[in-house]
Amino acid sequence: MLASFGLPWLFAVVLPFAKMRSLDPVEYEEGGEVSGVYTPKRDGRITEGSRIYGQEGCYQCHTQLIRPTYAGWDVHRDEWAGLRVSADNSEDTRRETLATDFQDEEIAHVGISRLGPDLSNFGRRIDFYLKKGEYTPEEWVLLHLYNPRGLANYLDDQRVPEKSTCPSKGGMFDEVPTYRAGDDALPLATPDGLAVVPNDRARALASYLLSLKKDTLRNPLPKALNFNPEAPQAE
């Protein structure tokens, strides 16, 4: 029985774990616009935010995995995999998830189900589509965490519906007197003299969510990692 358990233990758990720990860096091809090796570029409170994302159980309803087409059509789903700003594919930043995409996180929050949209490029969507002059990305995310049903459109045809089933994370916000809130107060209608202020966990989570930009904008893929098919010349 040791063998029947030991073989999968070795080949499915130990060896792949060792192999994935020390991945070879992928170099850009010669003569391209970018040289060197491919490194993920993310900023924000990733480690801490990722932990809070797990603690709040966001992975139960959201995924962070853009699967290759043999396993699903995620790449083509509206803006999940990146931006498709123009119809002729000239600005198309979509890509599948890569092994380095979860660097600095303790665990990859691949997710259990999609009761909510995939979040791999949530940061990208928010940055790009937030209508000017309404809210800053951080404000929008904090408002969403506070009450997902309070915010409607953030972009033209992708709505967070009024029937969103995302939970309101009231526990991550405090109600304080206005004079103590200062800049941190959320732009909400509150009773006189009170303001709603995010606590540090909310801020870390918002920072993490805004760092979710796993596409090729300003970080192109080397040929070796580019599994996208060649774009057709005319659509």
Partner 1 sequence: MSETHPTTETNDIELRSAIDRSLRHPVMFFFTSGALWLAVAIVFGLIASAKKHAPQFLDTFSWFDAGKIDAAHMSALIYGWGCSAAFGIIIWLMSRLSRKECTSAGIILLAGHIWHIGVLIGIVCILDGRLSSGIGLMEFPNAVWIILLFAYVLITVWSLVQFQVRDAGHVYVSQWYLLAALLWFPWIMVTAYLFVFAFDGNPLMVAAIAAWFKNGLFLLFFLPTALASAYYLAPKVTGRPVYSYNLALFGFWSLAFLGPWAGMERLMGAPIPQFLPYVGAAAMVLILVPAIAVGVNILKTILGHDDVVAQSPSLRFTVSGIVLFMVFGVLSFGLHTVTVMKMTQFSYTGYGLDILAIYGVFSLCAFGAIYFIVPRITRREWLSRRFINWHFFLSVYGVASIVICAIVGGVIQGQGMEDLSQPFATMAERSDSYGWGITLAWGFMLIANFFFCVHLLLMWARLGRRSSHPTLFQRHHSENPHGPEGEIDNIGSATA
Partner 2 sequence: MDHTRDNPLKRFNAFWVAILLVTTFGIGCIILRPFTLGNDNAAYEAASEGRLAIKNEVLKAEAETLNVESLNDQMASLAKTLHSGEPTQGAMPVVIPAPAPAEAAPAEAAPAEAAPAEAAPTEDAPTEDAPTEETPTETNPESSN
According to CB under 8 A, which residues from 184 to 203 bind partner 1?
201
Question: Residue 175: beta bridge partners?
Answer: 196
Cα–Cα dist 111/115, whole Å = 10
Please select the residue that binds partner 2; options are 30, 31, 33, 36, rule is CB under 8 A: 36
CA atoms in the 13 A half-sphere facing the CB of 49: 19
Q: Which does 24 bind (CB under 5 to 8 A by kind): partner 2, partner 1, none?
A: partner 2
Q: Does position 21 bind partner 2 by CB under 8 A?
A: yes
218 φψ region: left (φ > 0), alpha (ψ -120 to 50), beta (else):
left
Q: Does position 38 bind partner 2 by CB under 8 A?
A: yes
At 146 the three-state DSSP class reads helix
Cα–Cα dist 232/89, whole Å = 8
Which 91-110 residues touch partner 2, going by CB under 8 A? 100
Token reading at 210: 């805004």
Which region, judged by CB under 8 A, interacts with partner 1, from 12-20, 36-44, 135-143, 210-218? 12-20
Q: Does position 44 bind partner 1 by CB under 8 A?
A: no
Q: Does position 144 bind partner 1 by CB under 8 A?
A: no
Interacting residues toward partner 2 by CB under 8 A: 2, 5-6, 9, 14, 17-19, 21-25, 27, 35-39, 100
